[in-house]
Amino acid sequence: MIGLPLTSCAKKIPFLNSSVVPAAKGFTTVKIDSNKNFVVKINVSDLAAVERLQTAKLTYVAWMETDQGNMENLGQLKSLTSFFSKRHKASLETVTPYKPTKVFITSESDINVQYPGTQIVLTTNPF
């Protein structure tokens, strides 16, 4: 496992290929801000509309596993689909006091879920 250095440089971590949404690709970046919080940014492209998945849901929710082994709901991915582009893009930026060790995205029926559902759409390796 690779630890995050305590610097303000962002570490770019790719998402692994998905069997749920094979065309989807993306990455997350994690950096430490001046208040010693972790800034987590997620960028994904070619992500199918969540209602078109085999098990249709209402939204994509990003999660992180912390260095304490807990799961934290990072929030809903925001769609960035453009009129001039057929590529479906989504992103999220958030700040957390907890050190992330893995980031993943699930399809959910409710944005306020406390625990991740079983359909993991994208995930990183532990970092």
19-28, 44-53, 73-82, 108-117: range with lowest mean pLDDT:
73-82
Q: Report residue 9's pLDDT band, with 50, 70 and 90 as the boundaries.
A: confident
Q: Report residue 79's pLDDT band, with 50, 70 and 90 as the boundaries.
A: confident
pLDDT of residue 39: 98
The beta-strand segments (E) located in 46-127 are 59-66, 71-76, 78-79, 89-96, 100-108, 120-123
pLDDT of residue 102: 98
CA angle 115, 27, 103 (to 5 degrees): 20
Q: Is the pLDDT of residue 81 over 90?
A: no
Average pLDDT, integer, range 37-59: 94
DSSP 84: T
What percent of the chain lies above the pLDDT cut of 70?
89
What percent of the chain lies above the pLDDT cut of 90?
78
